[in-house]
Chains A and B, each alone.
Chain A
Amino acid sequence: MKKFLTTFLFTCLLCMLSITPIHASSNDYVIDETGYFSHEYITELNEKCEHLSNEYNCAIYIRIVGNTRSSTIENLADNTYLSENLGKTSDHSGVMLYLDPINRHYDVVAHGEGNKIFTDYGKDEMAQHFVIFFANDNFEDGIKTFINEASNMIEDYYNYGDIIDVNNTQTTHSDALYNLKMDALGALVLTLLVMFALSTLMKNKGIKLQADQYEKGGLNLRHTSNLYTHTTTSRQYAPHNKNNGGGGTSVGSSGSSHSSGSF
Chain B
Amino acid sequence: MDDHITDYKCPQCGGPLHFAPETQQLECDYCGSTFKIQDVIDPDHNEQVEDVQPKEHNEYWSTQEKENFSTYNCQSCGAQLLADPHDAVRQCPYCGNNIILESKFNGEYKPNRVLPFILDEKQAKQALMDFYRKKPFLPKAFKNKNRLQEVKGVYVPFFLYDGTVHGNLMAKASNSRSYREGDYIVTKTDHYTLYREGNILFENVPCDGSSNMPDEYMDSVEPFDYSKLVDFNTQYMAGYIADQYDVSKEENKDRAYTRMKNSTRKALLATCIGFQQVIPLYEQCNVMEGEIEYVYLPVYMLTTKWQNETFLFAINGTNGKVAGELPSDKKTVALYAIGMFIGFFLLISLLRGDLQIVLGGIF
Kindly state whether residue A40 has any CB partner on chain B within 8 Å.
Answer: no
Binary contact track B11-49/A, C-beta < 8 Å → 1, others 0:
000000000000000000000000000000000000000
Tell me, in angstroms, the Cα distance from A159 to B196 when the chains sit together: 68
Interfacial residues of chain A within 148-183, with CB under 8 A of chain B in the complex: 159-160, 170-171, 173, 176-177, 179-180, 183
Residues of B contacting A190 in the complex (Cβ-Cβ under 8 angstroms): 340, 344, 348
Contact of A224 among B193, B262, B271, B349 (CB under 8 A): B271
Judge if A253 is at the interface, Cβ distance under 8 Å. no
Q: When each residue 183-200 of chain B gets 1 if its CB lies under 8 Å from chain A and 0 otherwise, what string results?
A: 111111111111111111
Q: Does A235 contact B (CB under 8 A)?
A: yes
Q: Are B262 and A211 in contact (CB under 8 A)?
A: yes
Q: Contacts A186-B348, A205-B324, A238-B184 known; A216 to B202 CB distance under 8 Å?
A: yes
A23 lies within 8 A of chain B by Cβ: no
Return the CB mask of B321-363 against A: 1 if under 8 Å, else 0.
0111111100001001100111011011100111101101100
* Residues 219-235 of B at the A interface (beta carbon under 8 Å): 219-220, 222-223
Contact with A along B263-276 (1 / 0, CB 8 A): 11011100100100
Known: A211-B260, A220-B198, A229-B191. A202 touches B326 (CB 8 A): yes
Contact A179 B354 (CB under 8 A): yes
Which residues of A have CB within 8 Å of B168?
223
Q: For residue A101, give the distance in angstroms from its CB to the closest CB of chain B.
A: 32
B259 and A209 form a contact (CB under 8 A): yes
Q: Given A225-B195, A236-B187, do A214 and B324 touch, yes or no (CB 8 Å)?
A: no
Chain A residues contacting B322 (CB-CB under 8 Å) are: 204
Q: How many Å lie between the Cα of A218 and that of B199 in the bound state?
A: 9
B134 part of interface (Cβ distance < 8 Å): yes
Q: Which A residues are CB-close (under 8 A) to B352?
A: 179, 183
What is the 8 Å Cβ interface bit string for chain A, positions 212-239, against chain B (1 contact, 0 not)?
A: 1111111111111111111111111111
Separation of A208 and B218 alpha carbons in the complex (Å): 9
Interface size class of B (residues with CB under 8 A): 35 or more
Cβ–Cβ < 8 Å partners of A160 in chain B: 357, 360-361
Is A24's CB within 8 Å of the partner chain B? no
CB of A194 within 8 Å of the partner chain: yes
If A176-B357, A221-B196, A222-B198 touch, whether A235 touches B185 (CB-CB below 8 Å) is yes
Tell whether A176 pairs with B271 under 8 Å between CB atoms, given A205-B217, A231-B189.
no
Output the least CB separation between B276 and chain A (Å).
13
Task: Tell whether A69 is near chain B: CB-to-CB under 8 Å.
Answer: no
- When A204-B131, A217-B201, A229-B193 are in contact, do A183 and B271 touch as well, CB less than 8 Å? no
Least CB distance, B133 to chain A, in whole angstroms: 10
How far does the alpha carbon of A240 sit from the alpha carbon of B184 in the complex, in Å?
9
**Interchain CB contact (< 8 A) of A219 among B194, B268, B342:** B268
Q: Is the interface of B mostly helix, strand, loop or mixed?
A: mixed
Asked if residues A202 and B137 are in contact (CB atoms below 8 Å), the reply is yes
B216 within 8 A of A: yes
Q: Which chain B positions have C-beta within 8 A of A232?
A: 188-189, 191
Question: Which size class do A's interface residues fall under?
Answer: 35 or more
Q: How many contacts A-B (CB < 8 Å)? A: 205
**Assuming the A-B contacts A184-B345, A237-B184, are A228 and B192 also in contact, with contact meaning beta carbons closer than 8 angstroms in the complex?**
yes
Cross-chain contact B183 with A238 (CB below 8 angstroms): yes
On whether the beta carbons of A191 and B337 are closer than 8 Å, the reply is yes
Give CA–CA (A55, B243) in the complex, Å.
Answer: 84
Convert A221-263 into 0s and 1s, putting 1 for each residue whose CB lies closer than 8 angstroms to a CB of B: 1111111111111111111100000000000000000000000
User: Across the interface, which residues of A come within 8 angstroms of B185, CB to CB?
Assistant: 235-236, 238
Q: Are A187 and B345 in touch, CB under 8 angstroms?
A: yes
How far in angstroms is the closest Cβ of chain B from A169? 13
- The answer to the question of A12 belonging to the interface, with a C-beta cut-off of 8 Å to chain B, is no
Q: Quick one: which of A179, A221, A233 contacts B271, CB cutoff 8 A? A: A221
A198 within 8 A of B: yes
Is A207 in the interface zone, CB < 8 Å from B? yes
Known: A173-B358, A203-B326. A198 touches B137 (CB 8 A): yes
Answer yes or no: A102 CB below 8 A from chain B CBs: no
Q: B205 on the interface (CB 8 Å rule)?
A: yes
Residue in contact with B219 in the complex, picked from A183, A207, A220, A235, CB distance below 8 Å: A207
Indicate if the CB atoms of A208 and B222 lie closer than 8 Å: yes
Q: Which of A216, A223, A235 contacts B197 (CB 8 A)?
A: A223
| B119 in contact (CB, < 8 A) | no
**A residues in contact with B357, CB < 8 Å:** 160, 171, 173, 176
Asked if A229 meets B192 with Cβ closer than 8 Å, knowing A159-B361, A205-B217, A214-B204, the reply is: yes
Q: Which residues of B contact A173 (CB under 8 A)?
A: 357-358, 361
Shortest CB-to-CB span from B79 to chain A, Å, is 19
Closest chain B residue, CB of each to CB of A235? B184
Bound complex: CA A118 to CA B222 (Å): 68
* A195 interface residue per 8 A CB criterion: yes
Report whether B189 and A207 are in contact in the complex, using a CB–CB cutoff of 8 Å: no
**13 interchain pairs (CB within 8 A)?**
A176-B353, A183-B345, A183-B355, A191-B337, A201-B134, A202-B325, A205-B214, A207-B219, A210-B263, A212-B266, A219-B199, A220-B198, A230-B190
**9 extra A-B contacts, CB within 8 A, seeds A180-B354, A216-B201:** A176-B354, A179-B354, A183-B349, A202-B137, A204-B322, A205-B214, A214-B260, A219-B199, A229-B193
Question: Which 6 residue pairs spanning A and B have beta carbons closest together?
Answer: A187-B344, A176-B357, A187-B345, A223-B197, A211-B259, A208-B219
Q: Which residues of B contact A (CB under 8 A)?
A: 131, 134-138, 168, 173, 180-181, 183-205, 214-217, 219-220, 222-223, 256, 258-260, 262-264, 266-268, 271, 274, 322-328, 333, 336-337, 340-342, 344-345, 347-349, 352-355, 357-358, 360-361
